[in-house]
Amino acid sequence: CGCKGIRSCLLCEGSAQAAPPPQGEDNFTYCPATGLAKGNEHSEFAGWAFPFPGVFLMEEFISEDEESEMVELMDRDDWKPSQSGRKKQDYGPKVNFKKQRMKAGSFTGLPSFSKKIVAQMKSCSVLGSFLPVEQCNLDYVPERGSAIDPHFDDWWLWGERLVSLNLLSKTVLSMSCDSEDSIQLFPTFSKENGELSPPGSSTQTSACKNSGKEGINCTLSPKPVPSKEVTVAIHLPRRSLVVLYGDARYKWKHAIYRKHIEHRRICVTFRELSAEFSAGGRHEELGKELLEIALSFQGRPV
């Protein structure tokens, strides 16, 4: 298998040389309609919520026919073994993250089938200026125990927005935080008593005024909880596009647990360059060169 260090899959665990990775229980679920993380019904945080910024989710980003065509074209190329029971195809520059060095290497651009996808991204409010310089296809299947532990994507090379297209099956992106900070939770209303909304919003006030029932506490009393005790599930439907930025990119780690891989799943992740390689940055010229290669859309996996 392709596992290294603490990573493992069902193949190497079967030889008793590695321990299975942890599978956390998410106690909040992200609501795309409100931008809130809502306490799960059977968790200790049921009835509580907090704003969870930095997530953009668009369902049905591509059609079934477009998905089938993309996967068929991917499968014409080899998939290389990767860590944690996954397989991968990389389209990007040659990078040494430990030494913080990068060069074009054998990079010939993003694949031709991504040209339309990248163009479609311009219609998303958070992706108007997004210029991907790298694409990574990751193949997850339950038979290999495919997963990825909580982690941050590199900050030195990759920019603020991480863009992923979820293909072939649904899954869950699990968000966790190692910060020593606290999160302020606020109580939510049931459907009978009013709509769920952030504290201080007009919707919240209206719900209180119009509830027409006595005994409802409309004065919100925030409850602080340690960030480390909170995990947020972002449900990714098949063919959805998710963007992580801001706090969701830099404060919260993301993971995919084995229990959330029920069928074959392909994740297509696009990354942009950091400020260091962008206009005015220390390595602006190298960044320009790599972007020109990337956006030629003539690439094969490296």
Task: Summarize pLDDT for 1-49 with one digit per residue, the tens.
Answer: 899 888 999 999 987 667 787 787 899 999 999 999 999 999 999 999 9
Kindly report whether the global pTM for this prediction surpasses the value 0.75. yes
**What pLDDT is recorded for position 194?**
52
**What pLDDT is recorded for position 196?**
52
CA–CA separation, 110 and 133 (whole Å): 8
CA–CA separation, 13 and 20 (whole Å): 7
* Closest C-alpha among 199, 175, 247, 198 to residue 27: 175
Note the residue count of the chain. 302
CA–CA separation, 265 and 165 (whole Å): 10
Which is higher by pLDDT, 190 or 173?
Answer: 173
What pLDDT digit, counting tens, does each position of 188-223 carry?
865 455 555 554 443 343 334 444 433 334 456 899
Q: Which CATH class is domain 23-184+222-296?
A: mainly beta
Mean pLDDT of the chain: 90
CA–CA separation, 101 and 157 (whole Å): 9
Concatenated DSSP letters for 268-295?
EEEEEE-GGGSTTSTTHHHHHHHHHHHT
Task: Decide if pLDDT at 116 tops 60.
Answer: yes
Alpha carbon separation from 278 to 122, 136, 155, 270, 274 (Å, rounded)? 19, 20, 14, 16, 6
Report the relative pairing of strands 253-256 and 48-51 from DSSP bridges: unpaired
